[in-house]
Structure 1
Amino acid sequence: MAVTQVVRSEWTKIRSVRSTVWTLGLAAVVTIGLGALISALSRSEYDNLSPRDQLTFDPTFISFAGLSLGQLAMVVFGVLVVSNEYSTGMIRMSLAAVPQRGAFFFGKVAVATALALLVSLATTFATFFLGQALLGPLAASVGDPGVLRAVVGAALYMTLMAVFSMGVAAMLRSPMLSLGILVPFFFLVSSVLGAVSATEKVARFLPDQAGSKIMQVVTPLNDDTPYGPWGGLGIMALWAAAALAIGYALLRHRDA
């Protein structure tokens, strides 16, 4: 089957399954809504901050506070895109129609990634501008140094979160198992590891913690992170690439 036909087929599958479409919408709503709420609260509480906290106040990063929950919706989207066909048994028909498993898998990933990126870009720009409007005199401008990089980087972060989840779902094939591992890991385990001094330095190299560096414009005091914003996003991209590679390898060598 030609590449264009594979892409068209995968696009039809994604848009015809309501759950995948709804998860993208939920990612946008949660990210924008929670970011706006945190931005408004931060403006009202700014005068109560210590001089140290005021010095490192990052209005751009504050506006993306909703990504802590919005990213979970992107995880669900990535998992469902890949694992829905396994849970319904449609994977056998799909592989019969597209025997080249590489074309099937990477066609699916390419379409889902492009859709995730478009939604993420719209979400992060809307989140930034709304958040800055609510921050008022504390706001940053998109033309300020590092701000545009952070806004675009936030979209790339959301997209890579979905891509990483696609790879994990390809490995595990079960939506429940994939979500049962990924959601607690990003929502709880990663945060705990980052807060414990014994594991803090290792946790910096986890995909979510490394990738979130791209959204920082103001560097925290005494920050000894051994990589910069793009370096952190690069680490996250390596995690996503590794997950896809392993997922594809397993798809090639096992039965549907």
Structure 2
Amino acid sequence: MRRNQPSQVLVLLLCSLTSLTAAFVIPSTTRSTASPSTVSKPSLLLFATVSDDIDVDTEINAAKSILVTAAETKAEDSDTVIEALLSLEKLMRKKAKAEGESVAEDMKTQLNGDWRLIFTTGTADTQQKYGKINYFPLKAVQTFRTVEEDPMKITNGIFAGDFPLVKFFGEMDFDLKKRKLEFDFNQLLVLNLIEINLGKGDAAKIGASSGLGSESNVENVKKGRQAFFNWISADAQIATARGGGGGLALWKRVD
């Protein structure tokens, strides 16, 4: 079934499905009372500085080792994961400054494929509403087609097992200089049955109203800007990024 525009009923259905995700993200036993700024920038106990005396790649591998374990087991302490993400972000920025766009080129190539969201601090908006998110409890998979696609494609889906509850489809662009992936969704599929064509800004509005997206994305659309990720890393096992709403995220490759 195809619909040219998202009807009110279908949008409400979509918001209900995605709100279920937000509702289960913060168990009462793990909710943080810290402010969003504290959650996004905790004190770095493990990686206080990026030392010039130690090879940057060695420090990158140390941070990634923690994140790979977290992606495989979901057993690493959440603060340790955040510290590793922040350390990796700083280290990769230093590596890119030293080595140029080759770092981003490799990242773009490695990003091609399917990725399951494992861990997220959430956007600043979500942190304000719910606290620190940590390990993502439902199956959310993002697909990036960065090789042999023009324009490049992006898909974002929430699944019950292998069944897609909601899937967004769109196009994206990767800025090698900034390691910035900008995207917009132009179609969604609800319950693997109902196809809806989205106008400019519709996806941002749905995300903001459901609690999963950032209000900043709505404002960005008004200013002619797209939603984006600032990519930190991508390799054969994991990918990491900071979203436009300020949250950090960790993915595990699933293809």
TM range (shorter): under 0.3
Q: Greater helix percent: which structure? A: 1
| TM-score normalised by L of structure 2 | 0.27
Q: Greater strand percent: which structure? A: 2
